[in-house]
Chains A and B, each alone.
Chain A
C-alpha cells in the first residue's frame, strides 16, 4: 500500500527551483531515507509533504490526501519531528505528550493509558515530571520522537532527528524507528549521517533540488561500485552546483 505518492512535484521561490520534478513512492511500514547536502531541497520537500508549504506544480498525495487541498487532513495522519528541537521546554515530558495527544483529538483516559506504555517503552521514567528544557540532548530527542508518534500516525516525518546526538543515543534512536516500523508506521527520514542511511529500506539522494538516485542502500552501492553509502553520497553530491562555497 502506497502511503506517499509524489509525481513531478516542484517548488519555486521566484525563479529559484528549490525542488524540481520530485517523483517517488513510499509504501506502508517502509523506512525511507531522504539524503542530500545542505541546501539540496530536503526540508522544502518535506515541508510540502507535511502540508506546511504549497507546491508550485506537480502532484502529491500523503496518506491518501492531496497536498494542495487536503493539507489539514494530511496533518491528522502524520507525525513530525523537526530539525530544530521544538517541544515546549517549559512543560514537562508528560505535559508535552498530553498536549499533543489532546490536539490530535485523544481523550484524557486514552492519553493516560497510552502515556504509561510510551514512557516505559522509551525508558523516560526519570524525565517524566521534569521540564523538557532541563533534559540532556539525547533524551530530548527521544521525547520529541515519543510526542511525534504518540497519536499513532500512519507516517512520521523526521527532519535530521539525530543531529547533535552522541553515537549511542543515535543507535537507540534508530531502534525506536525500527520498532515503529514493526507496528506499521512509515518513517520518512532526512539525515547527514551516512551510517544511518544504511539502516533505511530505501534511500533517495537529492542533488540541487532533483532526485539523482533512488534505491535500496545495497543496490546503490553496487551501482556506484562503492563500499559504503558515504562513497555513494560523495560521488553524487560532489557534482552539486548549489551550496558549494
Chain B
C-alpha cells in the first residue's frame, strides 16, 4: 500500500500540470450550468395562433384576448373559414387553429356547453402537446369567469391542477439538478477513460507493468483522483445552481454527497474499465461517447422514464445516470431523505462493484 501514496502523488501532479485539464475541471461546470438550463427549456412561448371566428360576438373577442394575453400565443392570422386557416398552417405561418362556432355567445350566456375546436400542427409533438394543454387551461379559466357572471348560473366542473413539489412548475428546478448529474458523469467518465489508455499510448504503461505494483493498487491510484475531482465538480455545480438559479436542495445536502460518494466511484470505475479494454484514446473516446449518449437520453433528464415503452424502461434499469438524476430531483425538489433513496443507493452499489471489478480484471500486467 506504500506504493499507493507515490502513485497518487504522481496522478495529482500530472492532472494539475495539464493546463487543459484544469480549465476543463473548473470551466465546464460554469458553462454547462449557465447555458444549458436556459437553452433546454420545456416551455413554449409564441405559439403561432390562427383564429377562425364564426360567431363574431363579444364573447369570442373576450376568449381571443384572454388567449393572447396569456403570453404563450401570438395571433398570426385571422381567417374566415377553416380551410383558409389550414392553408395558413401548411404555409408554416401558424401552429394552432382555434375555431369558434357560430352561436358561441348565445350558448355561453344560456349555460349550454359549447365546443370550440382546436387543430394543432403536430409536426413538433412537444410544442403541439403543450399548445393544447395551455389552450385547455385558458379555456377552462374562461369558463370559470363566464360562469361567475350574473345571469350565467349554470355550474360546471372545473379541473384545477395543483402541482406538488415543484409549485410553479419551473422547468429549471427540474433541469438544473439533472444537468449537474450530467456534468459530473461526463467529466468522470471522459477523464478516467482517457487516462489509462493514454499511458498505453505513451509507453509508460509497459514501464508500470514491469514493476511489482499490484493491479488493484494501480487502479485505486487512478480511481481516487477522478473521484475527488467528481466531488469537487459536484460542489461547484451545486454552488453555481444556488448562485445563478437560487436553487438549494429542500432536503439534506448530506444525502446527495453520500450518494455521490458511491456514484462517482462507480462511474469512474466505468471509465477506467473502458480505458483498460481500449487500444487507443480515440477508441476509448468513441465508446464513452456512445454509452454516455444512451445513458443521458435514457436517464429521464429530458423525457420521463415512466413514459418510455417497456423495453426502454428495461434498458434504463441498467443506467447508473438515471438513479443519480432521480436522487438529485428527489432531494432538491421533494426533500427526500436516506430511507427514500436507499433503493437507488443499493443499485448504484451493484454498479460500483461490477465496474470496478471489471476495471481491475481488464488491466493485465502480463499478456498471453
Q: How far is the CA of A75 from the CA of B365 in the complex (A)?
A: 11
Distance in angstroms from B280 CB to nearest chain A CB is: 15
Residue of chain A at shortest CB distance from B217? A103
- The minimal Cβ–Cβ distance linking B359 to chain A, given in whole angstroms, is 19
Contacting residues of chain A (86-103) with chain B, CB-CB under 8 angstroms: 86-91, 95, 98-103
Residues of B within 8 A of A50 (CB): 210
Contact present for A105 and B3 (CB under 8 Å): yes
Q: Of B2, B207, B212, which one neighbours A76 at CB under 8 angstroms?
A: B212
A82-B203 in contact (CB<8A): yes
B366 CB within 8 Å of chain A: yes
Binds A, one of B10-18, B27-35, B335-343: B10-18
Chain B CB within 8 A of A71 CB:
yes
Given contact pairs A88-B14, A103-B3, A52 touches B209 in the complex (Cβ within 8 A): yes
Residue A233 lies at the interface, judged by CB distance under 8 Å to chain B: no
Cα distance A72–B6 in the bound complex, in angstroms: 19
- Give 1 or 0 for each of B198-211: 1 = CB within 8 Å of chain A CB: 00001110111111
Residue in A closest to B208 when the chains form the complex, CB atoms: A103
CA distance A72 to B212 in the complex (A): 6
**A102:B5 contact, CB within 8 angstroms:** yes
Interface: B232 (CB within 8 A): no
Assess whether B6 is in contact with A98, with CB atoms less than 8 Å apart: yes
* Cβ contact within 8 Å between B17 and A82: no
> Which residue, A54, A95, A102, has most C-beta atoms of chain B within 10 A?
A102
The answer to whether residues A105 and B2 also contact, given A72-B212, A91-B10, A95-B13 and a CB cut-off of 8 A, is yes
Check if A54 sits within 8 Å of B367, measured CB to CB.
yes
Across the interface, name the chain A residue whose C-beta is closest to B14: A90
Q: Are A84 and B366 in contact (CB under 8 A)?
A: no
Q: How far is the CA of A99 from the CA of B202 in the complex (A)?
A: 17
Are the C-beta atoms of B213 and A103 separated by less than 8 Å?
Answer: yes
Of the candidates B2, B7, B365, the one whose C-beta lies within 8 Å of that of A107 is B2
- Bound-complex Cα distance A101 to B211 (A): 10
Task: Name the A residues within 8 Å of B6 (CB-CB).
Answer: 98-99, 101-103
**Contact at B203–A86, with CB atoms within 8 Å?**
yes
Q: Are B10 and A99 in contact (CB under 8 A)?
A: yes
Residues on A with beta carbons closer than 8 Å to the beta carbon of B204:
86-88
- Residues of chain B within 8 A of A32, CB atoms compared: none
Contact of A75 among B7, B210, B368 (CB under 8 A): B210
Closest residue of chain B to A84 (Cβ to Cβ) is B203
* Chain B residues within an 8 Å CB radius of A71: 365-366
A103 touches which one: B17, B203, B206, B211 (CB < 8 A)? B211
CB distance from A72 to the nearest CB of B (A): 6
- Cβ < 8 Å to A, chain B residues 174-218: 202-204, 206-214
| Residues 190-218 (chain A) with a chain B CB within 8 angstroms | none
CB neighbors of B among A9-64 (8 A): 50-54
Q: In this assembly, does A143 line the interface, its C-beta being within 8 Å of a C-beta of chain B?
A: no
- A102 and B13 alpha carbons, distance in the complex (Å): 15
Cα–Cα distance between A71 and B366 once the two chains are bound (Å): 8
Asked if B9 CB lies within 8 Å of chain A CBs, one says: yes
22 contacts between A and B (CB under 8 A): A50-B210, A52-B365, A52-B367, A53-B366, A53-B367, A54-B368, A75-B211, A82-B203, A84-B203, A86-B206, A87-B204, A89-B202, A90-B13, A95-B13, A98-B6, A100-B207, A100-B211, A101-B6, A102-B7, A103-B3, A103-B211, A107-B2
* Additional pairs, 15, CB under 8 Å, beyond known A103-B208, A103-B212: A50-B210, A52-B366, A53-B367, A54-B368, A73-B212, A78-B210, A80-B207, A99-B7, A100-B207, A102-B2, A102-B6, A103-B211, A103-B213, A104-B211, A107-B2
Minimum-distance CB pairs A-B, first 6? A102-B6, A86-B203, A84-B203, A80-B210, A75-B212, A86-B207
